[in-house]
C-alpha cells in the first residue's frame, strides 16, 4: 500500500466491539478466495481494524461482501442487515457492474463499492470514509451501543403454552415504539414446531449452523433466517424427537451471542426438557421466563424446575414466573401457588381459548388475529414491561390450601408485572 497522511481514529463504532480492544471488527464475506486474501492483507495493514476470525461470536462493525449471481439476493440481504438497529455498515465488492446495479446497491444500503481486482489504495480510501462517517455518528451520540435482551421461555411442563407465549410476546415487542428488531429462536430439540404458529415453511434452520460452525458469521446467519410479514425474523430448530444429531451448547452460545449483537430482542423457545443445550441458552439469557399453569401436576414439576435452576447457580433475579391461562377468580389459588413455588408471579396471561385457538389455526399472532381481546392487551403490556424494566412486586397471601402436598416456605420476593 502507498503511504497515507491520515491515521484511522480508534473510536467506538456501531456493533458489539470486543471489550479488550477498541478496534473496529471487519467481516470479509467474499466467495472468491483470491479477492478475500487480498482484502485480508490490505485490511491488516490499516491501524484500528481487526479482521474477524472464524467461529467468532462478535458482531462485526463493517461487512465486506460480494455480489451474488442473482444481485437481488444480495440487495435483499443488505436491506435486512441495514434495517436492523444494530446492523453493521456494508461495503460491496464485485467486478465492475453497470451503473444500474451500482445504484440499486446504494439504495439497498451499501455505503461503498470496491471494484475487482482489489486495489490497496481504494481500500484505504473506503476505510477513511468509513472512519469519517462513524466519527460523525459518535459526535451525535456518545452513548455506547448496548447489547440486545435475550428472553428465554422454558415450560414447567409440556403443554403449558410456552411456544405460544414466546411467539405472541415477540409480536408484541415488535409493535413497541420505534419498531425494535426482534427475532424468534427455537432451541427446542424435542419436537419444536414454532414455524407452524406463524404459518412459515422455512428452508433453513439451526441445523445449517450446527453442520459447520466455522461458517458462522453475521452474513451467513442472516441467510438462514426466515422473515415474517410482521418483520420478525425466525430461526427454527430443525430438530425433533426423530432427528439425528443434536445442537451443541457451543453452537447455541455462539449463535445467541451473535444475535444479541444484532437484534434488540432475542426471544427463545427452550421447550420443557432441560438438557445441556437449553441450559446453555438459559445461561446466556438476560431473563429466564418459566411458564406454568395452576394445575397440580404442572405446579409440582414447575417447583422442581425452579429448585433445579436455583440450585445450579442461576441468579434468582433473572428467573421470572409466567402463569398462563389465568382466571381472575383464581387469585387466592395463585397466592398459595406462589408460596409453594417460593416465587412471585411476574406476569399472568388470561385464559382465552377462542382467541388463542383462532390465532394458532390461522398462523398469526394473537395481536394480529384478535387485537381487541384481553389476551392481546395482556401481551402488549407484557412487552412494555421489558421496555420499562418493571420491578413492581405482587402482594401474596396464603388463603387456600388446595396444594398442601407440595406446600413449602413463603415465596421469595422477585420482580413482578402481574
Tens digit of pLDDT for each residue in 8-51? 333 333 333 333 346 888 988 888 889 999 999 999 888 888 88
CB atoms closer than 10 angstroms to residue 370: 20
CA dist 202 and 359 (Å) reads 19
Intra-chain end-to-end CA distance of the chain, in Å: 62
Q: Are 125 and 114 in contact (CB under 8 A)?
A: no
Q: Are 221 and 107 in contact (CB under 8 A)?
A: no
Q: Are 333 and 325 in contact (CB under 8 A)?
A: no
Neighbouring-strand partners of residue 292: 323
Angle at 244 between CA 238 and CA 248, to 5 degrees: 70
Q: For residue range 164-202, what is the model confidence (pLDDT) as tens digits?
A: 999 999 999 999 998 899 999 999 887 768 888 998 888
Q: Are 340 and 398 in contact (CB under 8 A)?
A: no
Is the peptide bond prior to 117 cis by the omega test (within 30 degrees of 0)? yes
CA dist 318 and 282 (Å) reads 10
Q: Are 307 and 171 in contact (CB under 8 A)?
A: no
Q: Which residue has the higher pLDDT, 84 or 387?
A: 387
From the DSSP assignment, how many helices (H) and strands (E) are in the chain?
Answer: 14, 13
Q: For residue range 67-99, what is the model confidence (pLDDT) as tens digits?
A: 887 888 888 888 887 776 566 888 999 887 677
Whole-model pTM: value is 0.68
Angle at 75 between CA 72 and CA 76, to 5 degrees: 85
Task: Please give the mean pLDDT across all residues of the chain.
Answer: 81
pLDDT score, position 136: 55
CA dist 319 and 294 (Å) reads 18
- Which cell numbers in the block locate residue 134? 462513524
2 has a pLDDT exceeding 60: no
Q: Is 312 exposed, middle or buried (0-12, 13-18, 19+ CB in 10 A)?
A: exposed
pLDDT score, position 405: 36
Comparing 212-221, 374-383, 408-417, which segment has the lowest mean pLDDT?
408-417
pLDDT score, position 175: 94
Contact partners, residue 281, CB within 8 Å, separation at least 6: 152, 187, 252, 256, 268, 270
Amino acid at each position: 500500500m502507498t503511504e497515507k497522511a491520515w491515521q484511522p481514529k480508534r473510536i467506538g463504532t456501531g456493533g458489539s466491539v470486543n471489550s479488550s480492544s477498541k478496534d473496529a471488527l471487519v467481516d470479509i464475506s467474499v466467495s472468491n478466495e483470491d479477492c478475500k486474501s487480498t482484502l485480508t492483507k490490505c485490511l491488516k495493514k490499516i491501524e484500528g481494524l481487526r479482521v474477524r476470525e472464524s467461529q467468532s461470536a462478535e458482531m462485526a462493525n463493517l461487512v465486506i461482501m460480494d455480489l451474488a449471481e442473482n444481485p437481488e439476493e444480495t440487495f435483499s440481504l443488505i436491506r435486512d442487515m441495514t434495517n436492523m438497529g444494530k446492523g453493521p455498515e456494508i461495503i460491496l465488492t464485485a467486478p465492475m457492474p453497470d451503473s444500474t446495479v451500482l445504484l440499486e446497491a446504494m439504495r439497498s444500503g451499501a455505503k461503498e463499492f470496491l471494484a475487482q481486482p482489489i486495489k490497496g489504495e481504494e481500500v484505504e480510501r473506503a476505510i477513511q470514509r468509513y472512519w469519517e462517517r462513524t466519527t460523525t455518528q459518535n459526535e451525535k451520540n456518545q452513548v455506547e451501543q448496548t447489547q440486545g435482551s435475550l428472553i428465554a421461555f422454558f415450560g414447567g411442563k409440556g403443554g403449558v403454552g410456552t411456544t405460544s407465549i414466546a411467539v405472541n410476546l415477540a409480536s408484541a415487542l415488535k409493535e413497541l415504539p420505534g419498531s425494535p428488531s426482534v427475532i424468534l429462536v427455537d432451541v427446542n430439540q424435542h419436537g419444536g414446531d414454532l414455524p407452524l404458529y406463524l404459518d412459515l415453511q422455512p428452508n433453513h434452520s439451526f441445523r445449517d449452523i450446527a453442520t459447520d460452525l466455522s461458517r458462522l458469521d453475521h452474513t451467513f446467519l442472516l441467510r438462514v433466517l426466515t422473515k415474517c410479514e410482521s418483520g420478525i425474523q425466525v430461526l427454527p430448530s430443525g430438530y425433533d424427537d426423530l432427528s439425528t444429531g443434536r445442537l451443541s451448547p457451543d453452537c447455541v452460545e455462539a449463535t445467541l451471542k451473535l444475535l444479541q449483537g444484532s437484534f434488540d430482542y432475542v426471544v427463545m423457545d427452550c421447550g420443557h426438557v432441560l438438557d445441556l443445550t437449553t441450559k446453555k441458552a438459559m445461561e446466556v439469557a438476560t431473563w429466564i421466563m418459566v411458564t406454568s399453569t395452576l394445575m397440580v401436576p404442572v405446579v409440582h414439576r414447575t417447583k422442581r424446575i425452579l429448585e433445579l435452576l436455583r440450585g445450579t447457580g442461576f441468579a434468582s433475579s433473572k428467573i421470572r414466573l409466567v402463569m398462563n391461562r389465568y382466571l381472575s377468580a383464581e387469585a387466592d389459588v395463585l397466592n398459595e401457588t406462589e408460596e409453594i413455588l417460593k416465587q412471585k408471579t411476574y406476569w399472568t396471561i388470561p385464559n382465552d381459548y377462542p382467541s388463542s385457538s383462532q390465532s394458532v389455526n390461522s398462523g398469526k399472532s394473537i395481536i394480529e388475529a384478535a387485537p381487541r381481546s384481553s389476551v392481546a392487551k395482556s401481551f402488549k403490556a407484557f412487552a412494555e414491561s421489558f421496555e420499562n424494566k418493571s420491578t413492581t412486586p405482587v402482594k401474596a397471601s396464603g388463603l387456600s390450601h388446595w396444594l398442601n402436598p407440595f406446600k413449602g416456605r413463603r415465596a421469595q420476593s422477585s420482580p413482578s408485572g402481574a
